[in-house]
Structure 1
């Protein structure tokens, strides 16, 4: 079939830390998500209504029809089409998928993930789809979603972990409790345990919000189902569930009157694309909390996936959703292990609010850093932060921060803001017992909660807007919002080894705490 297919730009993937051990069963069913071209999206200067977005920026019907017709020639069935998200899902046998996309599928094994379906090299698409299809996801199941959570160890001093009332007081939250708002939470593993939330809300004397679980290509697990899994898998799911329930409890404790929607997707590239597609195609949400990520230049990401996810984050921002993303818990090295500094994706996207981590020394917020500056079995960790080498610095981020790596571009600076990640941690429950936890994966739902309460305190006729650019602009008094509505964090750094260098806090904006930690009421008034 030479000449019938063309390479798909950005689809190349190397095999890392894995061994090919066999071929995929040709009769195995595979579902793929195809991303489609569309008009260039606007910058999120002001929100666009869903109706206007669908009319101006959705995938064209003729493109969807052409792609559907070509896929059907290979025996693939289109399962779902989302013009708004500019994508479609199709399924077929492994043999049909092989004929359509030439991925060279195999069964791989790695110490980290066990056995999974994977590929190496690039994907080829039918020549008729050249320029119409921008990505094909779901061929490779390698993991590209890792939690950014600190080890759950007891605080090193006698300070008690913080409860919702402590957080409201420390960050001066506005009084509104989220009524009329929907906050979404992204999860790529683990399970939500309603009994723990009920006990948590009862302990705090707060109303239990309505929590809806949405499976995106997967079925959310119950506690009973988790406990019936094989031991190794059960332990992994329980570990991830600690983090899932942390997200939900932080949001529920701070926004008891909001609607909470927890989206569960697979932890591969397809899961990322599908989850953000689902969020932007659903009812409007004011915030999406994301506590997962991976270094933006990790070999497990394909450049096509980075582009597809970033485009969907841009769509969310244009629709007025602020996506709050954890900056990472492994300092300047971000688990890569070379002699350069790295930042996490999707925190490095210019279409999210990137959240760094702090800890308390007495009443003072300082940059979160615990020896050795990255996570380990005995604790430790440090906020992510730095300068992107993938995404240029957006025009709205007019700050003077240079990369610590010689020769690097002036990329997007991470984070924009910060919140509690380290000691004294958050006072949470898991399987009925107290289990303090933290990390920037806790800072993200903290910020999502604040923005939900700010939205609830405003005139319902005023559409929410993507927050990040506003922080770098003047408020009505002529002062930059990042200076007027934040408590500056001036002490600490995120140096990890490797690379042995990193970024330091200072007066004003910096690459470890952004503008600092919020004065919630002041921020609400300024926007």
Structure 2
């Protein structure tokens, strides 16, 4: 029998540009050829919500249960119906089980030829000295009927999106992080030898927690810390040996695969340094917490899918999510930032805190002029900046802005977003003017020890290394929040409305010395260290369930229907 052809419904419609989908040209020198037509790829399509989240939901003032969230703010059923019909017409196949409960991401699989026709985006393979990437440039187009129903399409392009914000002491050229950023495609470099670290001070995460006055015998039992990783892996033997050296029980660490990403440890000069830093710092300062590590490819699609998976994970149920990867706002498409910020809004509505590193390249964030790092620039993320800390016993003797740019060893990120406007809770903090009228959000919110010269002693692939970077601060704060959640008996959720309140000032050590290039520290909030580093025992009571102190609302129980006899 002849194959029945699908009616050309969408193909006859005029095309519209998907807002925010403009993708920059490939910057590196590379050879180019068309992407092989028969190769099958999977894209992530974000559809609109049934109903927008209320402001009170986005600020965490009115919490939602997962059931309430799915019923009111899950994917719009009409949008899903349209996308499935569109996919069928263009020869694309929806991935079974997508969207997952609570998620708005439907995944579609198809050939390169089908994808190019469906999304109006030519795809080419560009090969550099070290890797081949699938690249699209310009905008995505959609049939006009899909306007407003589709908010993002990610996965057509698989260029590396983010870099990890860790630095090994003595690695003045930051080889390890650059290798990790390329997802393993870059040429590996030798790890730093102990002799290069001898001039530096180092601390265990437990010592740093003592400096920051974590409660004695702090516990995060019953909490799960989610960690996003876009490469690398961990070895169970290293984790066991490390926590034995600290005199702590080995934490339960679970690897979660997203988009084919896996726990893949290799060498200490890879993203393993990032993975181990995140696990060891967060678990050491939050004894008893479980750790769930979400491994995904280093693409904008992988980043969003990993965050989405962590937020809607009803198996591991993280109450706080730590992100140590990011990139300057200018390196992202607007659709990617919008989709990731929307996911963080969902986290806030569900009472989940998201922490993110503010970057390791000072006020430029590695670009031209002043830039801030995303996702730390999202107002729904706790942005974590870095300091240089020295202390004796359990007492801090000095804490200043981390800035080792003169030694090519990095500096804390910080500045003003050009994408996200000034949040209400920062309105009285004298955030500098943004470079663009669309911006205004000040970065970071908080800080902690990050200078590799006063870094953290961690174990990576059988080696003891000293590692710093704002990558250490995001898991440090994630651990602090897990301890607070356990002690307060409720999740903290979005912290900013609480911690920017005047009464919370006593919970911070104000950092007033140093700069990150264009911005200087001073009394109160600043664009280097935010509100300051934590005085944890004092701060924890301020991290109440919501800004209004109300507990999450619970759905009314439904009465069972009586069966007729």
Would you call these one fold, judging by a TM-score over 0.5? yes
Distance in 2 between residues matched to 1:63 and 1:508, nearest whole Å: 46
Distance 1:195 1:379, change over 3 A: farther
> Match of 2:116?
98
Q: CA deviation at 1:402?
A: 4.4
Would the alpha carbon gap of residues 405 and 37 (structure 1) be closer, same or farther in structure 2, given more than 3 Å must change? closer
Supply the distance in 1 between the matched residues of 2:499 and 2:246 (Cα, whole angstroms): 32
Shift of 1:176: 3.0
Any idea what the Cα deviations from partners look like across 1:284-316, whole Å, max 9, x if unmatched? 322111001000122xx1111111111111111
Cα-to-partner distance string for 1:440-495 (whole Å, 9 max, x where unaligned)? 00111111011111111122xx3432112211124xxxx2x1x1101111100001
- Give CA-to-partner distance per residue, 1:389-426, whole Å, 9 cap, x none: 11001112223434377676661000000001013100
Q: CA deviation at 1:157?
A: 7.1
Contact 2:169/2:197 (8 A) holds in 1:
no
Q: What is the RMSD computed on CA atoms of the aligned residues? A: 2.0
2:147 aligned residue = 130
Which stretch of structure 1 is more off in the superposition, 164-173 or 432-441?
164-173
Q: Given that residues 401 and 413 in structure 1 are in contact (C-alpha distance below 8 angstroms), is that contact kept between their aligned partners in structure 2?
A: no
Counterparts of 1:67-466 in structure 2 under 5 Å?
A: 67-79=83-95, 80-82=98-100, 84-110=102-128, 114-153=131-170, 160-174=201-215, 175-223=217-265, 226=266, 238-283=269-314, 284-298=317-331, 301-336=332-367, 338=368, 340-362=369-391, 363-372=397-406, 379-403=408-432, 411-422=440-451, 423-459=453-489, 462-466=490-494
Q: Is the 8 A contact 2:229 2:293 kept in 1?
A: yes
Q: SS where residue 484 of structure 2 aligns?
A: helix
SS at match of 2:400: strand
Cα drift, residue 269 of structure 1 = 1.0
Cα offset for 1:431? 2.1
The partner residue of 1:23 within 19, 34, 37 is 34
Aligned residues: 492
Distance 1:159 1:12, change over 3 A: closer
Change (3 A) 1:411 1:257: same
Unmatched 5+ residue regions in structure 1? 227-234, 373-377, 496-501
Q: Indicate the SS of the match to 1:456.
A: helix
1:522 aligns with 2:538: yes
Range with greater deviation from structure 2 (174-183 or 263-272): 174-183
Structure 1 5/410 Cα, relative in aligned 2: closer, same or farther at 3 Å?
Answer: closer
Structure 2-normalised TM-score? 0.83
Question: 1:164/1:10 Cα in 2 relative to 1: closer, same or farther (>3 Å)?
Answer: closer
1:202 offset after TM fit, Å?
A: 0.9
Larger CA Rg, structure 1 vs 2: 2
CA distance in 2 between counterparts of 1:6 and 1:29 reads 25
Helix, strand or coil for the counterpart of 2:472? Answer: helix
Aligned partners of 1:110, 1:163: CA distance in 2, in Å?
Answer: 40
Distance in 2 between residues matched to 1:123 and 1:89, nearest whole Å: 16
Q: What is aligned with 1:230?
A: none
Q: Is 2:60–2:351's contact at 8 Å kept on the other side of the alignment?
A: no
CA positional deviation for 1:127: 2.8
Partner of 2:556: none
Unmatched segments (≥5 aa) in structure 2:
1-10, 171-193, 392-396, 544-565
User: Per the alignment, in what secondary structure is the counterpart of residue 242 of structure 2?
Assistant: helix
Query: Which 10-residue stretch deviates more, 305-314 or 78-87?
Result: 78-87
Local SS of the residue matching 1:323: strand
| Residue 13 of structure 1 pairs with residue 47 of structure 2 | no
| Partners of 1:267 and 1:397 in 2: CA distance | 32
Counterpart Cα distance in 1 of 2:433 and 2:19:
31
Report what 2:549 is aligned to. Answer: none
- Distance (whole Å) between structure 2 residues aligned to residue 288 and residue 407 of structure 1: 30
Q: Distance in 2 between matches of 1:130 and 1:20?
A: 35
Moved more, 434-443 or 159-168: 159-168
SS of the aligned residue for 1:436 comes to strand
- Write the distance in 1 (CA, Å) between the matches of 2:359 and 2:351: 24
| Deviations, residues 141-183 of structure 1 (Å, cap 9, x unaligned) | 1111101122432787756411133122101112332100010
1:232 corresponds in structure 2 to none
Q: Deviations over 1:247-286 (max 9, x none)?
A: 1111222223111000011111111111111012113322
Task: Tell me how far 1:318 sits from its aligned partner.
Answer: 1.5
Q: What does residue 469 of structure 1 align with?
A: 497
- Indicate conservation of the 8 Å contact 2:91/2:110, yes or no: yes
Q: Secondary structure at the match of 1:349?
A: coil
